[in-house]
Amino acid sequence: MLADLAQNTLDGLGAGASYAVLALGFTLVFGVLRLANLAYGPAIMLGAYAATWVSLHAPVPLLALAAITVAGSVAAGAYVERVCFAPHRRARAGSGPAGAAAMAAMVASFAVWMQLEEAATLALPRHLYAFPPLTTGPPLSLGPLALRMETPIGLGVAAAVCAALWWMLYRARFGLAVRAVIERPAAAGLSGIDVSRVSAAAFAVASSVGGVGGFLVAATHGQVTPHLGMWTTLKGMLAMMIGGLGSLPGAVAGGMVLGVLESHSQWYLGPQARDLTAYLLLFALLAWRSRGLARRG
């Protein structure tokens, strides 16, 4: 019984590492950049699909696949930024109710979500594709427990990404510009910051973090499906919500908690109940936190 508990927790941490990286990306987009980007998950999926496509045609090393996933996510993300967010940025800073422009951008992002999903399924139409696994070989034996090597690797990646992001945002010149643009875009421009360049670059950083998360997911699951876009969105959002919006370490913690929670609920209640629990948790968190996430005024 105890061994089960420990094993599930260990497995949960492994899954949680991927969720943590996804949550970091989502925190960047939704919490820091404050963009309601519904095409974020689908852009990640496109990156993973690009890597899958390549892996189907040539035996490429894992690191290269990771790079392709990131590149694909960044490319798709750039498209999303151009089409959905850049055009409405002016409107947000200038005249008109800020809500209207933000709503239009969000809606545009879900239109692009539809586009990206269809593009992915056109390129790779099957319901499931194998993805090269992160590790081959048997798990490490720690007494009665089995440690899949994905777990420490994933945890290491999550920690590294978190540290890198934190340093970028709070210690680097670029991060200063990002924070300025988010707080007061007009004042940022007046300080000499190129608002559209910085916004695009920040978006690219968020996309690459998403790409890393997407690669981890694909490589630890050993497969990709057309649901990956929606899946990463829900997991990422949920982990972000658990960890508290806008906090980078919180995102990592949220990802871990989600991973462990899912691992246990799947063990005791089965896969459908696992998904149901996840959605219920997201809904409950949103409903409970609604005061904190309430509309202004």
Partner 1 sequence: MAPLLEVRDLVTAYGTIEALKGVSLTVDKGSITCLLGPNGAGKTTLMFSITGILTPRRGSIRLAGADITGRSPSAVVGRGIALVPENRLVFPGMTVRDNLYAGAYQRRDRAGIEADVDRMLARFPVLQARVGQEAGTLSGGEQQMLAVARALMSRPTLLLMDEPSLGLAPLVVAEIFRIIAELNREGVSIFLVEQNAHLALQVAHHFYLMVQGLVTFSGDPGSLAEDEVIRRAYLGSA
Partner 2 sequence: MDGYTVGVLTNIGLFSFLALSAYVLLVAGELSFGQQAFFGVGAYTAGVATAMFGWPLAAATAAAMALGGLAALLVGLSTLRLRGLYFAMATLAAAEMARILFELLRWQREVNGERVGPDGAQGFRGIRWVFEHGMEAGGFLALIYGVLSVLVTALLVLERSRLGATLRAVGLDPEQAAAVGIDIHRIKLGVVSAAGAVAALGGALYAHHNTYVEPRNFDIMLGVHALAYALVGGLGTALGPLLGVALDVGVLEGSQVFAGYRMIVFGGVVALLLVVRPRGLLDEQIVNALTRRGWGLR
Output 64 or 186, the one with its CB closest to partner 1: 186
With CB under 8 A as the rule, give the number of residues binding partner 1: 18
Which residues neighbour 274 within 8 Å (Cβ) at sequence distance 6 or greater?
A: 262, 265, 266
Output 190 or 294, the one with its CB closest to partner 1: 190
Output 93 or 159, the one with its CB closest to partner 1: 93
Q: Compute, in degrees rounded to 10, the torsion defined by CA atoms 22, 25, 28, 33.
A: -120
94 binds partner 2 (CB under 8 A): no
Rounded CA-CA distance 167/230 in Å is 30
Among 20, 45, 108, 202, binds partner 2 (CB under 8 A): 108
Rounded CA-CA distance 47/135 in Å is 20
Site for partner 2 in 213-272 (CB under 8 A): 230, 234, 237, 272
Per-residue contact flags (x/-) with partner 2 for residues 133 to 172, judged by CB under 8 A? ----------------------------------------
119 binds partner 2 (CB under 8 A): yes
Rounded CA-CA distance 76/118 in Å is 13
Output 170 or 268, the one with its CB closest to partner 1: 170
Considering CB distances under 5 to 8 angstroms, the limit depending on partner class, which of partner 2, partner 1, none binds residue 297? partner 2
Written as one letter, the residue type at 23 is: A
Per-residue b or e along 246-281, where b marks 16 or more CB atoms closer than 10 Å to that residue's CB: eebbbbbbbbbbbbbbbbbbbeeeeeeebeebbeeb
Considering CB distances under 5 to 8 angstroms, the limit depending on partner class, which of partner 2, partner 1, none binds residue 95? partner 1
Distance between first and last Cα of the chain:
51
